[in-house]
Amino acid sequence: MTAVSPIVDQTIDLTRSLRNAANAMMDRAHEQRAAGKLSLNDYFAIADRYQSIINQANMVVYEAAEKLPPIGPHLGPVEAAAKELEQAATSMAKVTDVLAVSAQLLQALSSLVVAILHPEPAAFAAVAAAIVSAVQGIRGQLSH
């Protein structure tokens, strides 16, 4: 087995947090659909976003492994936000607007793709902000 850069492992861990949140979101969509609380069109939109999240997470890891951009110094705030997301995702079963959460998660992953492809400090700050927005979206629904 060849040695893997710590940045690749960090990227895998980071995308794992986003994948876990997406899995919890999809589970919630299934529950809401079965309970008659989610229209078929909304279910399809969530399922499409889920697949985009998974595809983009894969792409991010592949790009990090292939290009190994100098992203290490910028990952700290993104990793901290991803840990918050993992904690918030444990409450996904209480979320009522899964469609909104799916959009926020997809936005977070899309911003991560941009940051990996164009590794600039501002891009990574945008990733952290997008993940925090997803966390706030989940937590905001818990207070209702």
Percent of the chain with pLDDT over 90: 71
The number of helices, as runs of H, and strands, as runs of E, in the chain is 5, 0
Q: With beta carbons less than 8 A apart as the criterion, state whether 21 and 82 touch.
A: no
The pLDDT of residue 142: 79
The pLDDT value given to residue 4: 61
Round to whole Å and give the CA distance between 55 and 30. 20
Task: Give pTM, 2 decimals.
Answer: 0.82
Nearest-5° Cα angle at 83, 82 to 85: 60
**Under a CB-based contact definition with an 8 Å cutoff, are residues 135 and 85 in contact?**
yes
Q: Would you state the structure tokens that stand for residue 100, as one six-digit string?
A: 């909104």
- Would you state the pLDDT for residue 118? 85
pLDDT at residue 2, rounded to an integer: 54
Please give the pLDDT value at position 3: 57
Low-confidence ranges of the chain (pLDDT < 70): 1-4, 68-70, 143-144
